[in-house]
Chains A and B, each alone.
Chain A
Amino acid sequence: MSALENNRIVQAFADLRAEGKTTLLPFLTAGYPDLIATAELLAEIEQQGARICELGIPFSDPVADGPTIQASFTAALEAGVTLAGVFDIVKQYREVGGKLGLLAMLSYSIVYRHGSEAFCAQAAEAGFDGLIVPDLPLEEAGRFAEIATAAGMCNVLLIAPTTPEDRKLEIARHCSGFVYYISVAGITGERKALPLETIESVRRLNDQIDTPVCVGFGISSGPMVAEVCKAADGAIVGSAIIHQITDAVNKGLDRAAMVDTVGHFVGELIKPVL
């Protein structure tokens, strides 16, 4: 794992754990509502105190994503967002000194089309620090984790509530950066509360492994972030943030006002864990 020594995600969790802290991991759809907005949102999210951010790469046929994120993917694709465009914006973000640990979350369909080696090399070169490929389960991953880590990136795998206990540990062993714990069986989307047993399972897992555990799917408010972070190292919020962006766009807010609104919302989400 020496390739990951200076990895921003690994570093962020090492710092947080040393300080006894947890964190919020915001999710943005890359290129929604446009690529420049994504760059500004990244800067704003960093400003609000986040250390790590996920960038969803738009895909025509997402299966794990709920209606909010899917609609943002469709809009971004219609606006002509490509993988090359996303890499460019990440490069620019790094050139102006952006320090967030950045994960690309994307379908294996896209990775396969480009080829795992070529994709990982380009993603790392653009400035990504990690990958989440939700439709690449352990059985199909083959050498993918190796290729990603050789390029200096973490490879984050998902654990679902339906995952048997021994398999959870097996998945965790193949993870780097953190383990993505899916809070509920189903798709992404805002929910009012998480099942109690989820928090319990996360606590149990976190006690058993060294790799940090982050929880995602359905988290939509500051209090929920606080609740999750009692057991986890981080809370991932996606749909609720995309929802804010969509609302701002629908209200006709200009880019600066949209970024402000979303920044304020992220500030509320992260407050309990700052």
Chain B
Amino acid sequence: MTPETATPRDGYFGAYGGQFVPETLMKALHQLDCEFKAAWADESFRADFDRALREIAGRPSELYFAERLTRDLGGARIYLKREDMNHTGAHKINNTLGQALLAVRMGKQRVIAETGAGQHGVATATAAAVFGLDCEVYMGSEDIRRQALNVFRMRLMGTKVVPVESGQKTLKDALNEAMRDWMASVETTHYVLGTVAGPHPFPDLVTAFQRCIGSEARRQMLDREGRLPDMVVACVGGGSNASGIFKPMENDTDVQFVGVEAGGRSMHLGDHAAPLCAGSPGVLHGSLSYVLQDADGQTAPVHSVSAGLDYPGVGPEHSFWKDSGRVEYTTCSDDDAIAALMRLSETEGIIPALESSHAVAEAIKRAPSMGSDEILLVNLSGRGDKDCNEIQEILKRRGNGQ
């Protein structure tokens, strides 16, 4: 135990986390914390959740040996945890099914969510439809324009998509707007936060619902190879897919973890979305964590080719893991992510999401210098169908698109 964890405070990971929210939300957060703890300890809730993961999300997701990519790179054996095979195309559904079940348990008939690229919005809309809940999703008007297909998918499932015109009109502003809604509707509404950020208990709760990724991968790895991987790589925006795969192997100290943030166009403030690699501790969206801010504490603009990583903050447990050294954090540029997307498509017939392509790029970089007896596990957190228009545009601009 490190000194930081020796005296754990509820809702804190070392120095990070907390509940930096207006008093109006404190009662709801307290209630959510109690309800979640009770639900998580309740066998029947866990059985309902497991069934939802199996029958709705389609879990367990495959652990796939990327044989051609491994041969190409000539180093570590590369495995992919296929979260892209889940219903709705990413790991997001794990969390929304869990939170929707929690909403039902709390007797709340309405759920709200924020979304950037629309993946979490679609996953929330899906869970709401399955359990018969009213659903409204806040989405920046800029993102609505860029992700028209996901907006249509949400609407098909009966969700109301609310355009957000404030601030930069992207993910962080959608989150602000969802928090505002929740302050006025807290008695009847559950807020389905999409990542491991936000005020306590959201980081705990979302990690709990996402840890199925790592629990499965751990078991599958032991079945397949008779041992655990040497290295696990995951992309980090808010950090939920990374938390999901890291957490169940946190105490397997021989397993090295690498988190990959969005390096964007350059490492100048405003050109990337890498708070852990280039930011400093600060308060945003209800918790203390690494954040990209200017000297006055104003949130800095961020950029990534991947809308899902385009966020100036990160979950507090990642900040703790950064300081403790349990996870190594690095960045991957827009260009390297796109190149990784193309390479995985060509060698394995898998089109990864742009977010997940950041993790694939890091694996491509590291595998050749690892031994052929070593195992590198990549969390392939989502599929790239949603990004095809964007990639087509980018390739067209470069003059090599078809």
Contacts and interface: CB of A to CB of B under 8 A. Distances in A.
Interface string A111-124: 11110000000000
A139 B21 CA distance: 11
B296 A82 contact: yes
B293 A113 contact: yes
Interface in B281-309: 281-286, 288, 293, 295-299
Contacts of B283: 107-109, 112, 135
Contacts of A109: 20, 282-284, 293, 297, 299
Contacts of B298: 59-60, 77, 110
A63 B285 CA distance: 8
Interface string A128-142: 000000111101100
Contact of A137 (B19, B166, B295): B19
B253 to A, nearest CB: 32
Given A64-B22, A112-B282, A186-B184, A162 B28 contact: yes
B176 A163 contact: no
Given A113-B295, A182-B23, A63 B167 contact: no
A133 B396 CA distance: 49
B172 A135 contact: no
A29 interface: no
A94 B93 CA distance: 56
A61 B284 contact: yes
Contacts of B183: 63-64, 185-187
Given A64-B183, A109-B293, A140-B18, A159 B23 contact: yes
Nearest to A134: B22
B27 A162 contact: yes
Contact of B24 (A64, A82, A110): A64
A70 interface: yes
Contacts of A67: 166
Interface residues of A, number: 42
A142 B19 CA distance: 13
A158 interface: yes
Nearest to B183: A186
Nearest to B293: A113
Contacts of A63: 21-22, 176, 179-180, 183, 285-286
A120 to B, nearest CB: 15
Contacts of A161: 24
B186 interface: yes
Interface in A81-108: 82-83, 107-108
A113 B283 CA distance: 8
A59 B298 CA distance: 6
A108 B20 contact: yes
Nearest to B26: A137
Interface string B86-123: 00000000000000000000000000000000000000
A49 interface: no
B24 A135 contact: no
A269 B179 CA distance: 31
Given A61-B284, A64-B24, A108-B283, A185 B184 contact: yes
Nearest to A168: B23
A74 B183 CA distance: 21
Nearest to A187: B180
B184 A137 contact: no
A61 B312 CA distance: 11
B20 A136 contact: yes
B100 to A, nearest CB: 23
B147 to A, nearest CB: 22
Interface in B55-88: none
Contacts of B28: 162
Interface string B17-42: 01111111111100000000000000
Given A112-B288, A135-B286, A185-B183, A61 B167 contact: yes
Given A61-B176, A109-B293, A185-B184, A160 B23 contact: yes
A164 interface: yes
A140 B288 CA distance: 11
B163 to A, nearest CB: 13
A248 interface: no
Contacts of A12: none
A272 interface: no
A268 B172 CA distance: 38
B296 A110 contact: yes
Contact of A162 (B19, B24, B179, B299): B24
Nearest to A136: B20
A223 interface: no
A186 B282 contact: no
Given A137-B26, A162-B27, A112 B297 contact: yes
Contact of B20 (A83, A135, A159, A160): A135
Nearest to B31: A162
B24 A160 contact: yes
A163 B23 contact: yes
Interface in A138-164: 139-140, 157-164
B186 A162 contact: yes
A83 B293 CA distance: 14
A171 B19 CA distance: 16
B314 to A, nearest CB: 15
Contacts of B21: 63, 135, 137
B24 A182 contact: yes
B138 to A, nearest CB: 13
Give the one of B18, B284, B295, B296 with max A CB within 10 A.
B296
Contacts of B284: 61, 109
Given A64-B22, A82-B296, A164-B27, 12 more contacts: A60-B167, A61-B167, A61-B176, A107-B283, A110-B298, A135-B20, A135-B22, A139-B18, A139-B19, A160-B26, A162-B24, A162-B187
Interface of B: 18-28, 166-167, 172-173, 176, 179-180, 183-184, 186-187, 281-286, 288, 293, 295-299
8 contacts: A63-B285, A63-B286, A64-B180, A160-B23, A161-B24, A162-B27, A185-B184, A186-B180
> Closest 8 CB pairs between A and B?
A113-B297, A186-B184, A110-B297, A160-B24, A162-B27, A60-B298, A60-B299, A64-B22
